Structure 1
Amino acid sequence: MRDMLAEEVDPKVVRSRLADLGLQAGAWSLPVDWRGDAGRFAHDLEQLSRFAEAAAVVGARQTGTWVMPETLATLEPDGNRSSLLAATAEMHVQRLGAIARVLANHGVRLGLEVIGVESFRSGRGVPFVTRLSELDRQLGAIWQESANLGILVDGFHLYAADETIEAGFAWGVDRIVWVHVADLPTSSRSDRSAIQDHDRGLPGENGAIDSGQLLRRLAEEGYSGPVTAEPGAKCRSLAGRSAQEIARLVASAMNAVWPQPTP
């Protein structure tokens, strides 16, 4: 959405072009830096409405963001761990709640993603939310902020956190806003502690992460939202490929794990 508006492309033209191609818009990245500086957050929040309006016109009514796996601040030797966690939770609830309310004005939903990859954490902060099962314990109050808040289920992070597929359905399928699928690279070890967030493979590439099982479960529950392949920019299987080649490879991988209709 950011690029589309920066280049002054009419979202109605994009929607029409998608329709001509028999395509439907999926989800879009949230253009708000909400985890750090308050001034930057306020600026981005002020701009969010125009992005959400354009997204709604295009038909992309889902966006998402990841919650912090650890606190930004470190715990001093004489510090209070509970107070640090409470302050981090309060920031999440206030800022994500404000974002969700802006999006709700345009019929856009916000999915919260949990980063399960251990190596993503710096180790300097206090662990905050590292598994979906911890979300309610730390951020249970967030669901009262806006009805358009939900879950972004990422199969890669479920695997990295050693959580089952069912963890993604803890709030019901209606709460699932967006789904990401990927696998470990072909040559990767299945040691979860060694997983790197940037080092991913196409869905079904390694076989360690069963994207097909997740997608079948979603289909059984009637999920109808966007599913995004997320092998990442550094995916070795896509390195050096043209945009057209990448599109074909990703489409082939998705078709291979996509649930087939029952005869």
Structure 2
Amino acid sequence: MDRRKFIISSALASTALAIPTPFVFADSRAKRAFKISLNPGMIGVQSNFAQTLDYAISFGYEAISPFTQEVMDHYSEQQLHDVTEKMQENKISYCSNTIPLEFRQDDAKFKEGFQGLKKFCKTMEKQGATRMNTWIISSHSELTYNENMRQHAYRLGECAKVMQDHGIRLGLEYLGMRTMLIGNRYPFISSMKEAKELIGEIGQDNVGLVLDSFHWYCANESIEDIQALHPNEIIVVDLNDAREGFTRQTQVDGKRELPAATGVIPVHDFLKGLIDIGYDGPIRSEPFNQVLNDMENEAALKANMDAVQAALAL
């Protein structure tokens, strides 16, 4: 994923480890419907499908990445049955896949990737996975806002139609940083409202939002913006904090913190909004954090879960 780089953070453990873990976890479950998800690559953990499931069971995660490409390439029917049964026994559901094609470049590149989408979706359906996601780059060097809107609406609409046939919902993540908005000649979508306009142009009822606390904060959005959503409008949630010493306008992509590490983002409002509307999908952290990335797997898994629980304790 070309924009996904893990960058340094120094405050990941202090806030999280101050909260008694078992109490926080039990208390938060009584108030929320959403599931804490383990997407290992987002926190620098190297693991395959089966290993990720074992990690989730050991560390108390409630959802995991579908690993659909791995299943396509390596899993027999029996292996898939066994891992699915193990997930069900431990009450672990699926999170979301990244869309397996490039839709931002020329038509030839899009058509090439689009040819394999149906097979990918068939495998997701066989797994019982129902969510896919991508992000929308918020500026372009050549396409005006309207040109870019038409291109995104058509291509993502074609993808959504294929996904619809297999019971899959597509989440679109707007990128709220002002630094990215002015990164190219023509600004594009950088807010929840604009992302919803794109979803309207797509015109498929299986398309919704990827709601990221970092982009919500950078776009100067509020708890009221979340409370105005129907829970089905959200496909997946990313929970992060932002760096200290930067304004909303100067935050940059790829440099952020674990949930509740700095308190820059009003995580309380963000999570309260989700609880208020009854969002029941997966929630995952995506801190782009070099300290976390450099840890051994087990240490990173615990630090990440502790940070999420510290956020929930707010």
Same fold (TM over 0.5): yes
Instruction: Choose the corresponding residue for 1:206, options 254, 262, 272.
Output: 262
Instruction: Choose the corresponding residue for 1:162, options 213, 217, 220.
Output: 220
Counterpart amino acid of residue 27 in structure 1: S
Q: Which structure is richer in relative contact order (CA contacts within 8 A, separation 6 or more)? A: 2
In the TM superposition, what is the alpha-carbon distance from 1:141 to its structure 2 partner? 4.0
Q: Which residue of 2 aligns with 1:135?
A: 195
Kept in 2, the 8 Å contact 1:49–1:102? The answer is: yes
Question: In the alignment, does 2:129 pair up with 1:66?
Answer: no
Q: Which residue of 2 aligns with 1:172?
A: 230
User: What is the CA–CA distance in structure 2 between the aligned matches of 1:255 and 1:199, rounded to whole Å?
Assistant: 21
In the TM superposition, what is the alpha-carbon distance from 1:93 to its structure 2 partner? 0.9
Q: Which residue of 1 aligns with 2:73?
A: 6
In the TM superposition, what is the alpha-carbon distance from 1:158 to its structure 2 partner? 0.8
In the TM superposition, what is the alpha-carbon distance from 1:68 to its structure 2 partner? 3.0
Instruction: Choose the corresponding residue for 1:181, options 239, 256, 262.
Output: 239
Kept in 1, the 8 Å contact 2:181–2:188? The answer is: no
Secondary structure in 1 aligned to 2:129?
coil
Secondary structure in 2 aligned to 1:193?
coil
* Residues 1:248 and 1:41: Cα distance change in structure 2 (over 3 Å): same
Structure-1-length-normalised TM-score: 0.84
* Residues 1:181 and 1:142: Cα distance change in structure 2 (over 3 Å): same
Kept in 1, the 8 Å contact 2:238–2:283? The answer is: yes
Instruction: Choose the corresponding residue for 2:304, options 245, 250, 258.
Output: 250
Q: Which residue of 2 aligns with 1:77?
A: none
* Residues 1:162 and 1:54: Cα distance change in structure 2 (over 3 Å): same
The farther-off stretch of 89-98 and 208-217 is 208-217
In the TM superposition, what is the alpha-carbon distance from 1:34 to its structure 2 partner? 0.4
Secondary structure in 2 aligned to 1:113?
strand
In the TM superposition, what is the alpha-carbon distance from 1:31 to its structure 2 partner? 1.1
In the TM superposition, what is the alpha-carbon distance from 1:136 to its structure 2 partner? 4.6
In the TM superposition, what is the alpha-carbon distance from 1:109 to its structure 2 partner? 0.4
Question: In the alignment, does 2:116 pair up with 1:56?
Answer: no
Secondary structure in 1 aligned to 2:93?
coil
Q: Which residue of 2 aligns with 1:241?
A: 295
Give CA deviations for 1:188-229 in whole Å, capped at 9, x if unaligned.
314123212111111011111133332222122111111111
In the TM superposition, what is the alpha-carbon distance from 1:167 to its structure 2 partner? 2.6
Alignment of 1:96-115 (within 5 A): 96-115=156-175
Q: Which residue of 1 aligns with 2:50?
A: none
For this pair of structures, how many residues does the alignment match?
Answer: 245
Kept in 2, the 8 Å contact 1:45–1:99? The answer is: yes
User: What is the CA–CA distance in structure 1 between the aligned matches of 2:313 and 2:202, rounded to whole Å?
Assistant: 31
Kept in 2, the 8 Å contact 1:114–1:132? The answer is: yes
User: What is the CA–CA distance in structure 1 between the aligned matches of 2:313 and 2:127, rounded to whole Å?
Assistant: 27
Give CA deviations for 1:71-124 in whole Å, capped at 9, x if unaligned.
3416xxxxxxxxx32221110110010111111111110111110012334633
Structure 1 gap segments, 5+ residues each: 75-83
Question: In the alignment, does 2:224 pair up with 1:195?
Answer: no
In the TM superposition, what is the alpha-carbon distance from 1:256 to its structure 2 partner? 1.7
* Residues 1:20 and 1:259: Cα distance change in structure 2 (over 3 Å): same
Counterpart amino acid of residue 201 in structure 2: I
Kept in 2, the 8 Å contact 1:201–1:236? The answer is: no
User: What is the CA–CA distance in structure 2 between the aligned matches of 1:104 and 1:52, rounded to whole Å?
Assistant: 9
Kept in 2, the 8 Å contact 1:28–1:62? The answer is: yes
Structure 2 gap segments, 5+ residues each: 1-67
Kept in 2, the 8 Å contact 1:203–1:229? The answer is: yes
User: What is the CA–CA distance in structure 2 between the aligned matches of 1:31 and 1:147, rounded to whole Å?
Assistant: 20
